[in-house]
Amino acid sequence: MITLTKLNNQKLTINAVYIERVEELPDTTITLVNNKKVFVKESGKEVKQLVTAFYKEIGLFRFPQEVGEQGHEF
C-alpha cells in the first residue's frame, strides 16, 4: 500500500497493484484498474518511487543480477 495526498490535503492509502497508469494533466492523475481516477499532490515521479518501493517490499520487483552472477529464471 502507498499513502498519497489528495488535492484537499486528505491522506489516501491505495494498493499500488491496482494502479493502471499515472499521468500529469497537470495534476497527477492515477487511474486504477477499475477505471476510478484519483487526483494527488505528489508528482508522477514521486508516485513511481513509492510504487517501486512497495513492489520491492512485497517481492514483485525483480532486482537485476550482478554482472557474472549465475541464476535461473523462474
Q: What is the pTM for the complete model shown?
A: 0.78
* β-pair partners for 2: 14
The answer to whether residue 73 scores a pLDDT higher than 50 is no
The predicted structure's pLDDT at residue 59: 86
The predicted structure's pLDDT at residue 66: 53
Domain boundaries, the chain: 2-58
Dump pLDDT digits (tens) for 9-68.
999 999 999 999 999 999 999 999 999 999 999 999 999 999 999 999 988 876 555 555
Phi (first) and psi of residue 47, to 5 degrees: -60, -45
Residue in the block written with cell 500500500: 1
The answer to whether residue 69 scores a pLDDT higher than 80 is no
